[in-house]
Amino acid sequence: MKKVLLSEILTPSVKITSPDAVISEVLAEMAALKISCVVAVDAERRPQGIFTERDAVRLLAERRALGKLKMAEVMSTPPFSSAADIDFREAYRLLQERGFRHLVVVDSEGCLLGIVTEGDFMQRLDVGDLSEFKSAERVMSRNIVTVDVDDSIADAISLMSRNRYSCVVVMREQIPYGILTERDVVRLAPLIDDVGDTPISSVVRTPLITAPPGMKLPDAIKLMTQHKIRHLVVTENDNLLGLLTRHDLVKTLQGSYVHFLHETIQVQRKELFRLSQQRSLFKLHDAALAASANAIIIADRQAVIQWANPAFSLLTGYTLEETVGSSMRDLVKSGEHSPEFYVEFWRTLLDGRVWHGEIINKHRDGTFYPEEMTVTPVRLDSDEITHFIAIKQDISERKQAEAQIYNLAFFDALTRLPNRRLLNDRLEQAKAASKRSGCYGALMFLDLDNFKPLNDEYGHEVGDLLLQEVARRINSCVREVDTVARFGGDEFVVILKELDTDMSASTAQAGIVAEKIRIILAQPYSLTIHATQDKSAKNTVEHHCTSSIGVVLFRDHVATSIDLIKWADLAMYQAKTAGRNLIRLYDSKA
């Protein structure tokens, strides 16, 4: 596979501006020139930041007054940049890992040479590599953001920004009707104050260019080129199936290069392991061995591991031969962190700053483990970063201890239900949620009616078994968003969140749950205990007990959590006084 350098595919005619440029003028130029970005440079043409169509969507979604807003206030900085002498496929891989779509290319002095976009990659990648893919359906994205023609332009822009999508598909009566792209948003920027709240139907691009799911990918590329579009909506019988973007196509073409890299890396691993022992790494070894009690790896600027100590093998399960030549990015990656986490991680390192924190990684056997890691960028004979040193420590035991402390602080040791401290926190959260949504919440106070005789006759061991079973039964009656807590002794509290905006409906809903709990707690209990002398011998105690339940509703409540618990407790005592095994709703007028 022929090597093609960035210098051969970059676009040198980049639109540049000063960081002090007024952003409204920048947007106007982007719309007029139909370009996807503008680069801010200093007097020596050193890139200071970049403003893209996606940045424009984010800015307009915030409905900020453009006015005299400066480029420096909204541009992404520092821009992701690269030297011109790396292979364009490797450059695309780096862009993918960091989630960017524009690569600023600079010379040895850090001055701007040009920019590379997905369009440039598309022109260089071999369309013949798509022959293994039968149709657009194999490559298209199915996670699509849609809006209705009657939705406002501002709402559509907000959806694009929130989901970080390059377009939204506009639907009319459940049928794809048009499309609004980031480029359209840039075009609308000067008018957004006037048209932001008008229906999207007034500006959406129609007719919609669509393709059937069975269209061959080379044909899809020709169709997109013919109509000068970057998004192709895939439909069948007026049903929206997916969206084929230039990003999807470039990513697919890049797949052939990933296979090429994999084969190359396998061949070079032994050579890399030998090279890792040479004099060029002696200084790095000396620094790493100073902390050899922890796992240590040394990687080059491309994150390829050059050296690892035995502690790393013990931590991860990978031998040194398996480790050296592997990517620091992928070897123990667990998938437990978001792409944004890794973007910020590498941005910190490439800025020359030390990264320190906790991360979840994956052992060779597939198990996950938490580790504390410090990664330090290293500069040897120049000011450029040449390597990274990572020092790792397994913190599983510390995390277990922290979890144990947390459980002791916030959960009842017998029933594993939230205790009073966590109950108060959950109740405050429920009150705040009720105030935001306008929906009622409910608090129930439960007391077992026939618990003390069981304790007196059979002892606390049997009483504990009953309390554990009661906790399980109550939990089975509520939703995951609700809370069941042990208040103390044989008393339990239930918090129901987000019922209804209507008080009567909420009262009925709370009553249904309370009745469900009352009925299930009144069912007989079979409690199995072990004999004191012979542990293999078992005795079963049959017991029957009921519960009295007090209920209070709340919404926009000025009352404290203590008041709500007190009122529910009063209602519960009314249930007991009335004969037990009953439910009573708190009445403030009673």
Tokens 């598909």 map to which residue?
169
Q: How far apart are CA 212 and CA 234, in angstroms?
A: 6
Contacts 24+ apart (CB under 8 A), 524-527: 525/466, 525/469, 527/462, 527/465, 527/466, 527/469
Instruction: Report the half-sphere exposure of 503 (CA within 13 A, side-chain side).
Output: 6
Chain centroid, CA 88 distance in Å: 29
Is 297 within 8 Å of 375 (Cβ atoms)?
A: no
Dihedral Cα 555, 560, 562, 567, nearest 10 deg: -40
**DSSP sequence for 196-219:** TTSBGGGT-B-SPPEE-TT--HHH
Instruction: List Cβ neighbours of 57 (8 Å cut-off, separation of 6 or more).
Output: 157, 160, 161, 182, 185
- Report residue 389 as tokens: 């040193």
501: left (phi over 0), alpha (psi -120 to 50) or beta: alpha
Q: How far apart are CA 153 and CA 160, in angstroms?
A: 11
441-448: strand order across its sheet: 483-488, 491-496, 441-448, 547-554, 583-585
Q: Which of 28, 23, 25, 11 is nearest to 51 (CA)?
A: 23
Catalytic residue among 55, 447, 449, 490: 490
Angle at 263 between CA 258 and CA 269, to 5 degrees: 115
Chain centroid, CA 434 distance in Å: 26
Q: How far apart are CA 42 and CA 47, in angstroms?
A: 7
Specify whether 447 is catalytic: no
Q: How far apart are CA 139 and CA 368, in angstroms?
A: 31
Is 410 within 8 Å of 476 (Cβ atoms)?
A: no
Is 126 within 8 Å of 254 (Cβ atoms)?
A: no
Q: Which of 304, 377, 389, 302 is nearest to 83 (CA)?
A: 302
Indicate the SS3 state at residue 450: coil
Q: Which residues are catalytic?
A: 490
